[in-house]
């Protein structure tokens, strides 16, 4: 009895320690994902895209600097690139609105997707945003539908679509560029329904519980891989992509190449249908009437 109690005590302690270690890991990842020196979309474009020609504007009312887009050659393939752009200096950050797109940004993405579709160019997106911009003009300018419409239009593309999450994958603003055939994610990037701070403020009623919320949200690449939300975890240099941006870009480039090689073998219509099915499968539910578990992953049940 004593022994088993002792064992139980030690096991509990171990569990707590692991728990702590894990929490620590998650928060470290959040911090690396937000690191000021972390390579941005333009850095990946510089490393991976030859002859990049930036194309601006939504053809409606603005060019949103929080979204960068254009045509270029990815290892011999002509592609369309669209990504969130964060700045590094304060001036840059302000210019790019910290990577928070406004409706004009999503619409710019939409019209570039249409260009890619018309000329059968594969689409590469880079996701790096705290989320959509929570401003009055953005709201009243139709942010909600702009995001929804971007997702629907991505779903309808007949060309291959590969999304790479390279930093913060924040909420709907991130997802708007990630309705892709393959979602790749760097080791130290995060992807989440809400920021840890936002989640803590709502559920814990105290933003100081951010680290705890981060852990609960499971926003890291390995966790998302286990949940089936991403296809590939792209390794980063030790300590994060900012330590060796070139090596980081090489790894991203290799992962994108693999994805494109696979996707370009598929019939466009099949590819489109599979993309839809990919998102149809995401979720965890059970249906006893069907006698089936609800999802391919259901770590715990109710």
Counting Cβ atoms within 10 Å, is residue 290 exposed (0-12), middle (13-18) or buried (19+)?
exposed
Task: Name which of residues 244 to 283 contact a second copy (CB under 8 A).
Answer: none
Helix (H, G, I), strand (E, B) or coil at 21: helix
Residue with Cβ nearer other proteins (117 or 244): 117
Q: Which stretch binds other proteins (CB under 8 A): 26-34, 81-89, 151-159, 241-249?
A: 151-159
Binder among 46, 148, 211, 233 for other proteins (CB under 8 A): 148
Contact between 301 and other proteins (CB under 8 A)? yes
Q: What are phi and psi of 279, to 5 degrees?
A: -80, -25
Q: Are 217 and 203 in contact (CB under 8 A)?
A: no
Q: Which stretch binds other proteins (CB under 8 A): 5-13, 35-43, 136-144, 239-247?
A: 136-144
Binder among 140, 277, 287, 290 for a second copy (CB under 8 A): 140
Binder among 4, 89, 118, 238 for other proteins (CB under 8 A): 118
Q: How far is the CB of 140 from a second copy (least distance, A)?
A: 8
Angle at 85 between CA 84 and CA 87, to 5 degrees: 150
x/- map, 193-212, other proteins, by CB under 8 A: xx---xx--xxxx-------
CA distances from 132 to 39, 191, 209 (A): 20, 14, 23
Give the number of other CB atoms < 10 A from CB of residue 7.
10
Residue with Cβ nearer other proteins (4 or 299): 299
Q: How far is the CB of 59 from a second copy (least distance, A)?
A: 6
Q: What are phi and psi of 188, to 5 degrees?
A: -105, 15
Residue with Cβ nearer other proteins (91 or 287): 287
* Tokens representing residue 276 in the block: 């839809």
Q: Which residues of 78-110 are buried (b: 16+ CB within 10 A; e: fewer)?
A: ebbbbbbbbbeeeeeeeebbbbbbbbbbbbbbb
Contact between 121 and other proteins (CB under 8 A)? yes
Q: Which stretch binds other proteins (CB under 8 A): 6-14, 34-42, 86-94, 150-158?
A: 150-158
Number of residues engaging a second copy in binding (CB under 8 A): 9
Q: How far is the CB of 155 from a second copy (least distance, A)?
A: 16
DSSP, res 241: G
Residue with Cβ nearer other proteins (172 or 253): 172
């Amino acid at each position: 009895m004593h022994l088993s109690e002792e064992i139980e005590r030690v096991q509990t302690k171990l569990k707590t320690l692991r728990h702590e270690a894990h929490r620590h890991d998650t928060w470290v990842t959040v911090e690396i994902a937000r690191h000021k020196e972390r390579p941005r979309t333009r850095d990946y474009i510089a490393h991976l895209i030859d002859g990049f020609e930036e194309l601006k504007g939504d053809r409606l009312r603005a060019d949103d600097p929080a979204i960068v887009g254009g045509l270029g050659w990815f290892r011999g393939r002509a592609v369309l690139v669209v990504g969130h752009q964060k700045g590094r200096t304060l001036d840059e950050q302000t210019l790019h609105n910290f990577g928070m797109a406004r409706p004009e940004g999503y619409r710019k993405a939409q019209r570039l997707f249409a260009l890619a579709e018309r000329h059968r160019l594969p689409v590469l997106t880079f996701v790096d945003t705290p989320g959509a911009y929570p401003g009055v003009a953005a709201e009243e300018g139709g942010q909600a539908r702009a995001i929804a419409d971007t997702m629907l239009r991505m779903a309808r593309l007949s060309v291959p679509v590969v999304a790479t999450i390279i930093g913060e994958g924040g909420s709907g603003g991130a997802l708007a560029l990630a309705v892709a055939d393959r979602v790749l994610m760097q080791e130290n990037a995060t992807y989440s329904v809400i920021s840890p701070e936002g989640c803590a403020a709502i559920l814990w009623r105290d933003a100081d519980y951010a680290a705890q919320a981060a852990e609960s949200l499971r926003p890291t690449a390995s966790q998302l891989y286990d949940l089936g939300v991403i296809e590939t975890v792209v390794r980063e240099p030790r300590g994060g992509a900012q330590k060796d941006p070139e090596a980081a870009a090489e790894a991203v480039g290799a992962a994108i190449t693999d994805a494109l090689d696979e996707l370009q073998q598929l019939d466009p219509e099949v590819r489109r249908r599979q993309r839809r099915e990919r998102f149809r499968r995401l979720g965890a539910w059970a249906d006893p009437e069907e006698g089936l578990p609800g999802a391919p992953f259901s770590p715990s049940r109710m």
